[in-house]
Amino acid sequence: MSSEQQTSLQEKQFMHKIKAEEKIEPKDWMPEKYRKNLIRQISQHAHSEVIGMQPEGNFLTRAPSLRRKAILLSKIQDEAGHGLYLYSAAETLGISRDEMIEALQSGRAKYASIFNYPALTWADMGAIGWLVDGAAIVNQVSLQRTSYGPYARGMIRICKEESFHQRQGYDIMLTLVNGSPEQKAMAQDSLNRFYWPALMMFGPHDSESAHSAKSMEWKIKRETNDDLRQKFIDQTASQIEFLGLEHPDKELKWNEERGHYDSGEIDWDEFHNVIAGNGHCNRQRLEHHIKAHEEGAWVREALVAYNAKKQAKQTEAA
Ligand SMILES: [Fe+2]
Ligand SMILES: [Fe+2]
């Protein structure tokens, strides 16, 4: 068999597995583009979890009570954990953690643009948990069925924690809307600022998405950007109503025939602008990551030294 024939046979077997809903595992043969596509998506996802800790981390010292502080702290720690699972999942595809971090810090790799918006008030801790983690869940629930085994399994665990994140955010909003008029106004302002960027988290329209078609065929993605966004729009409408807040989308209207809400158009210029690195906090987020990474170098060095010592002892004992 020529190597070309072999590749096409392997490709056939690969597609057969995908169609049969079997998971692709790290040691299985996979097309190079599938591998690259996954590395891009999983590492981007990992970076988002880690960079996403920053806007909330800023509010740890300003939480209004000990209880709120403890909740926010554990939520942020969860996000660090999500980053770790995802970096590990990406490593099974043959890229190192150092390479991924380098790609992030040099600006080659992307992370979710939503984290380039500033968190201005305590109400933003509510809006972020409710809307940003909420949008992430819609996406991640569908990724539990993604075709790459380690990614799918990571998502199952992550989703359990994300639903707690969303509830804690919504709980902050509920408390604020039932508080003073100033607190309710703060909640409204947060909703106004985070609603549209949350919709942007689902990415460009399907017709404009560069990675969509192939990702759907390989079952890396299980639902399209627009379908997922629609789900989020539908579920959020009643949540806004329950809070007694005004909906930021003035064109939002229930469409009986479709069984979904029709909505206004996203400001795509803003979307592309933030992706291009011109968001409020793009530079600040990366600078902070680099600083924290450098300051943590001693921890990594100590770990390596400890492991070397342990190993030396074991070899000696053997
Ligand atoms: Fe997360
Ligand atoms: Fe989260």
Return the closest-CA partner of residue 45 out of 112, 119, 133, 145. 112
- Cβ 109 vs Cβ 43: under 8 Å: yes
Distance between Cα 85 and ligand 2 center (Å): 13
| Ligand 1 centroid – CA 8 distance (Å) | 38
Token digits for 45?
Answer: 């996802």
List 97's β-bridge partners, or say none: none
The pLDDT of residue 153 is 95
Q: Quote the radius of gyration of the chain (alpha carbons, Å).
A: 22
What is the Å distance from ligand 2's center to 51 Cα? 12
Residue 1: per-residue pLDDT = 66
Residues found in the chain:
318
Type of residue found at 108: R
Question: Per residue of the chain (318 residues), what is the pLDDT tens digit?
Answer: 677 777 789 999 999 999 999 999 999 999 999 999 999 999 999 999 999 999 999 999 999 999 999 999 999 999 999 999 999 999 999 999 999 999 999 999 999 999 999 999 999 999 999 999 999 999 999 999 999 999 999 999 999 899 999 999 999 999 999 999 999 999 999 999 999 999 999 998 888 876 677 888 899 988 899 999 999 999 999 999 999 999 999 999 999 999 999 999 999 999 988 888 888 888 999 999 999 999 999 999 999 999 999 999 999 998
CA 152 to centroid of ligand 2, rounded, Å: 17
**Smallest-distance ligand from the CA of 83:** 1
Instruction: Give the orientation angle of helix 181-200 with respect to helix 225-243, to 10 degrees.
Output: 170
CA of 162 to the centre of ligand 1 (A): 6
Distance 161 CA to ligand 1 centre (A): 7
The CA distance from 50 to 77, in Å, is 10
**pLDDT, position 318:** 85
Output the CA 75–ligand 2 centroid distance in Å: 7
The DSSP bridge partners found for residue 148 are 24
**Cα–ligand 1 centroid distance for 238 (angstroms):** 24
Q: Are 138 and 232 in contact (CB under 8 A)?
A: yes
Distance CA 246, CA 178 (A): 15
Please, what is the Cα angle at 214 between 213 and 219, to 5 degrees? 100
pTM: 0.92
The ligand placed nearest to the CA atom of residue 45 is: 1
Helices (H), the chain: 3-19, 32-51, 53-57, 66-91, 97-105, 123-127, 133-143, 149-177, 181-200, 212-217, 225-243, 268-273, 282-295, 297-317
3-state secondary structure of 76: helix
CA 218 / ligand 2 centre spacing (Å):
26
Q: What is the C-alpha separation between 103 and 50, in angstroms, rounded?
A: 14
Instruction: Please tell me the distance between residue 276's alpha carbon and the centre of ligand 2 in angstroms.
Output: 24
